[in-house]
Amino acid sequence: MGKLKEKYFKQGIAEYAKRLSKFCKFQIVEVPDEKAPESLSEAEMANVKEKEGERILDKIKDKEYVFALEILGKERTSEEFSKELEQLTTYGHSDITFVIGGSLGLSPQVIKRANTHISFGRFTLPHQLMRLVLVEQVYRAFMIQQGSPYHK
Q: Which residues are annotated as a binding site?
A: 69, 101
Distance CA 56, CA 9 (A): 22
Helices (H), 60-96: 78-90
Binding residues for S-adenosyl-L-methionine: 69, 101
Domains, in order of start, for the chain: 7-29+46-151 (3.40.1280.10)
Threshold 0.85, pTM exceeds: yes
Higher pLDDT, 149 or 30: 30
- Cα–Cα dist 48/139, whole Å: 32
Cα–Cα distances in angstroms (integers) from residue 123 to residues 6, 66, 152, in the given order: 21, 22, 24
Q: What is the pLDDT of residues 54-75, one digit of tens each?
A: 999 999 999 999 999 998 899 9
Ramachandran quadrant class, 61 (left: phi over 0; alpha: psi -120 to 50; beta: rest): beta
